[in-house]
């Protein structure tokens, strides 16, 4: 099947891309809400924490950030690099707008830099090795996000291992979906945007 505007494949690509974009946007308020409201322990003037491995905790927003990195890749796969870059810019603004006052800079800076790092790794790899691109870009993005956020928000890297593990769990959970999408795209002749 060839893909031209208005064909069922083009319509499907756009519809799926818009769903991925909406989900990507929703991860931002969800992460900001989780970090201040959900956890097994909420540190006074600090984050709410969740266990991510035995003896390891992380701020609860990690759940959404790990997924956001993969969703950004899927937005780019369906809607293209320019839409993905626009989503990063809009997400940075949304992150700053929704974050609690004490973590506005940390939230916006971590989001912007980590998503751009994800973009930089994903873009050259995605056409030939989609799953490798998703995994590698997400790993780079989650480390960058964790280090920047923790340093700027709490002036401490105490939760860095937990942040990395928590986000990695979410990336791992998304890999089967990415593999399914890759295989389905191949069957339908849906090339990356």
- Taking the C-alpha atoms of residue 35 and residue 49, their distance in angstroms, rounded to an integer, is 8
Summarize pLDDT for 101-160 with one digit per residue, the tens. 778 899 899 999 999 999 999 999 998 899 999 999 999 999 999 999 889 988 989 889
Find the helix or strand (DSSP H, E) in which 74 lies. Answer: helix 62-79
Query: For the residues 73-81, what does the mean pLDDT come to?
Result: 95
Classify each residue of 149-186 as buried b or exposed e, where b means 16 or more C-beta atoms within 10 Å of its C-beta: bbebbbeeeebbbbbbbbbbbbbeebeeebeebbeebe
Indicate the pLDDT class of residue 9, thresholds 50, 70 and 90. confident
Task: State the Cα–Cα distance between residues 34 and 96, nearest whole angstrom.
Answer: 15
pLDDT for res 4: 64
Say how many C-beta atoms besides its own lie within 10 A of residue 47's C-beta: 25
Does 1 have pLDDT greater than 80? no
Question: Quick count: other Cβ atoms within 10 Å of Cβ 148?
Answer: 20
Ordered by start, the domain boundaries in the chain are 8-188
When pLDDT is averaged across residues 70-77 and rounded to a whole number, the result is 96
Residue 38 clears pLDDT 50, i.e. is over it: yes
- Class assignment of domain 8-188? mainly alpha
> Distance from CA of residue 150 to its chain's centroid?
17
Q: How confident is the model at residue 174 (pLDDT cuts 50, 70, 90)?
A: very high
Instruction: Supply the pTM of this predicted model.
Output: 0.89
Phi, psi of 62 (to 5 degrees): -60, -30
């Amino acid at each position: 099947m060839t893909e031209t505007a208005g064909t069922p494949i083009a319509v499907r690509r756009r519809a799926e891309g818009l769903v991925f974009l909406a989900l990507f946007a929703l991860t931002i308020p969800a992460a900001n809400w989780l970090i201040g409201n959900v956890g097994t322990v909420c540190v006074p003037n600090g984050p709410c924490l969740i266990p991510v491995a035995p003896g390891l905790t992380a701020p609860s927003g990690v759940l959404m950030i790990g997924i956001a990195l993969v969703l950004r890749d899927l937005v780019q796969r369906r809607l293209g690099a320019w839409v993905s870059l626009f989503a990063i810019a809009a997400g940075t603004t949304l992150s700053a707008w929704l974050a609690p006052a004490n973590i506005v800079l940390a939230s916006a800076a971590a989001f912007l830099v980590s998503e751009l790092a994800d973009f930089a790794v994903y873009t050259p790899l995605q056409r030939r090795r989609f799953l490798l691109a998703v995994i590698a870009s997400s790993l780079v993005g989650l480390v960058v996000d964790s280090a920047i956020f923790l340093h700027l928000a709490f002036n401490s890297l105490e939760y860095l291992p937990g942040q990395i593990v928590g986000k990695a769990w979410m990336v791992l959970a998304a890999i089967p979906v990415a593999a399914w999408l890759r295989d389905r795209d191949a069957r339908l002749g849906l090339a990356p945007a």
